Amino acid sequence: MFSLNNHLELRRVTISSLVTCIYLPSIITAISYKGVLYSVGSGSSFYILVLIFVAELVKSFYLSSSNEIQAKRSKGKTRAGDIIKSLGFLLGITFCFFLGIMLFGAPVLDKHEETLMLSSLLTLLTVFPLVAHCGVEPAVQLLFGVKSFNKDTIVAMLVNNALLTLCGAWLGAVVIPLDWNTPWQQWPIPCYLGALGGYVLSNVLTVLKVTMMSGANKYKFLNFFINVINRLHISK
């Protein structure tokens, strides 16, 4: 899916993934060092979302700066309208996540704050990069599989990130019912951390893959690992 042809794109993908691999673990380390790791569900941890939001925004600027011609064309005309539209779209997505998470088992009558934080995080990690990269309408088309993204390395990476994030959040729920009686088996901490973990894992895989692809010319056996990673990517 990744092609070596477009070196510029590949470099951008690698660098942005590397940045993610650094900044997200740093945030987690920092908050766990301060001892507030287990409060990620509550509203007081909103600053984490803000940090992620800013980081993703910067990343998306970096990623899409190549399409200068395109950007210029769309600039000026509907910039403000676009932003409002995407904000509204993101809010809608967050609400969908909120409802979906509840449907799939989150407490319905209480813990709304926690569920809302989790759904905002999921929105930030899955849909937001897509919207920031290519706008609302293409994002919708991508989401519903109308538009194929096989040719576009950046979009492929973003979709992969989104899928692994969801997987992480989903698998995080496994540990909640176990009888270990630890403080982090509280809703929604495992899901929250699982989502972050899935996101980081996806980025690590991207970096690894690009590294190996560049090394594969010299060392043929690396192709095997590339194939393995390719299988791990769930997107079609």
Partner 1 sequence: MLFWIQHKWSGLWLLILALGGISLFLYGFFPLKYHSGKLAHMDDLPNFIDGVSIDGHEVYNSGENSVILMVIDGLRYDFVTEEYMPFTGQLLKNKSACIYVSVAEPPTVTMPRIKSPERKKEKAQWRRTINFWRDIFAMMTGSVSTFADVALNFGAPAVKGDSVLRVATSRGRHTILYGDDTWLRLFPGLWTDYDGTTSFFVTDYTEVDNNVTRHLDTVLAPLEDKKPKFDFLVLHYLGLDHIGHLEGAKSPKIKPKLIEMDEIVKKIYAAMQTWDRTGVLIICGDHGMRDAGGHGGASPAEVLVPLVVIKSADFQCPHEQGPGPVVAQVDIAPTIAWLLNTPIPGDSTGKFLPSLLPSDIRQHLYLLHVNAQHNVKQGVPTDTEYYRQFKRAETQFARYLTSGQQSAARIAKEFYDESLIAMSKQLTESTTDFDMFSLGLATVFLYFVVTALACVTLYSLQPDNQRKISITDKHRTNIGSIVAFAIIFAVFGTILTVACFITETKSQFCSFNPLWSIAFLSMVFALTVTYFLIKTGVEKIRDLSMLRELNAIDYLLIIGTLFHAWSFFGTSFIEEEHMTWYFFWNTLMFFVLVRTIVVLVMYFSKRWSGATEVQEKPDLDHRMSAVGVGIVPKWVLLIALHRYLRTMNQTGDRWLFLPDTADWLNAPENSIYLQGHLVFGTLLTLAICLWNIRHMNNYMKFHSIITILATLCILCYRITTNALHSPFEEIKSWDNVLIVEIFWWLLAGQTIFEAITYLGVFKACGYNPNSKFAYSKPKEKSEDYFYDIMEEPWNINDVKLNLARSLTHIMYNQMMLIIVLLMRPHNVIMVPSIYITCLITAKCLDHKLLDARPGRNTEAADILGLTLAHIWIGAVFYFYQGNSNSLASVDLGSGYVGLSEYSPVKVAARMGLHAYAGPALAGAHLFCSLPTSDMNKYLQAVWRVSNIMALQRVYQLVIYCVIAIVFRHHLFVWSVFSPKLLYDFVATVFSVQALLTIAEIVLITHIVSWIARAIIYRRLS
Is the Cβ of residue 76 or residue 145 nearer to partner 1 in the bound state?
A: 145
Q: Angle of helix 7-33 relative to helix 153-172, nearest 10 degrees?
A: 30
CB of 144 to partner 1, least distance (A): 4
Is the Cβ of residue 174 or residue 232 nearer to partner 1 in the bound state?
A: 174
DSSP 100-113: HHHHTTS-SSS-HH
Is the Cβ of residue 45 or residue 235 nearer to partner 1 in the bound state?
A: 235
Q: Angle of helix 112-134 relative to helix 136-143, nearest 10 degrees?
A: 110
Give the whole-angstrom CA distance, residue 213 versus residue 202: 16
Binding residue for partner 1, selected from 57, 108, 228, 232, defined by CB under 8 A: 108
Is residue 43 part of the contact set for partner 1 (CB under 8 A)? no
Is residue 177 part of the contact set for partner 1 (CB under 8 A)? yes
Is residue 178 part of the contact set for partner 1 (CB under 8 A)? yes
Binding residue for partner 1, selected from 80, 146, 219, 221, defined by CB under 8 A: 146
Give the whole-angstrom CA distance, residue 160 versus residue 79: 28
Is residue 80 part of the contact set for partner 1 (CB under 8 A)? no
Is residue 144 part of the contact set for partner 1 (CB under 8 A)? yes
Is residue 103 part of the contact set for partner 1 (CB under 8 A)? yes
Number of H helices, E strands in the chain: 9, 0
Count the neighbouring beta carbons within 10 Å of the beta carbon of residue 107: 13
Residue 129 parent element (H or E):
helix 112-134
CB of 176 to partner 1, least distance (A): 8
